[in-house]
């Protein structure tokens, strides 16, 4: 568990994975998240997720120099964990608000 937490064990990383799973792909999308992640932390977390091969950068469209982010199969494997965490929060943490579809 400690090894996994070294990679995904902070609030911002899990929220980025959540946002990627819900369709956000661009830096500006992540920065506009309701949690308002500071851009320096956002840059750091995206770099770490890429280094850990949870996320990959891809061109937005064919021939474009602009890049977007998407989850790799390794990153997608975390989605049941996030879903379980959300379910736990909804059950046990008063005031937890459900997000759109998991």
Instruction: Tell me the pLDDT tens digit for each residue of 19-38.
Output: 999 999 999 999 999 999 99
Which helix (H) or strand (E) element contains residue 67? strand 67-71
pLDDT band at 101 (very low <50, low <70, confident <90, very high): very low
Number of domains the chain is built from? 1
Kindly state whether residue 47 falls inside one of the protein's structural domains. yes
Query: First and final CA of the chain: distance in angstroms?
Result: 23
- The mean pLDDT value for 3-31 works out to 95
> Which CATH number covers residue 17?
1.10.10.10
Please state the pTM of the whole predicted model: 0.87
Containing structural domain, residue 61: 2-92
**Which positions ≥6 away from 45 have C-beta within 8 Å?**
10, 12, 13, 16, 37
Kindly state whether residue 98 falls inside one of the protein's structural domains. no
Kindly state whether residue 75 falls inside one of the protein's structural domains. yes
Kindly state whether residue 15 falls inside one of the protein's structural domains. yes
What tens digit of pLDDT does each residue of 61-96 get? Answer: 888 889 999 999 999 999 999 999 999 999 999 988
Kindly state whether residue 97 falls inside one of the protein's structural domains. no
């Amino acid at each position: 568990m400690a090894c996994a937490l070294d990679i995904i064990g902070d609030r911002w990383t899990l929220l980025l994975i959540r946002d990627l799973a819900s369709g956000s792909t661009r830096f500006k999308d992540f920065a506009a998240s309701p949690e308002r992640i500071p851009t320096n932390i956002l840059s750091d977390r995206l770099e770490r997720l890429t280094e850990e091969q949870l996320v990959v950068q891809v061109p937005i469209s064919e021939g474009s120099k602009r890049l977007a982010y998407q989850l790799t199969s390794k990153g997608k494997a975390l989605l049941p964990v996030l879903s379980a965490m959300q379910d736990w929060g909804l059950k046990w943490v008063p005031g937890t608000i459900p997000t759109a579809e998991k």
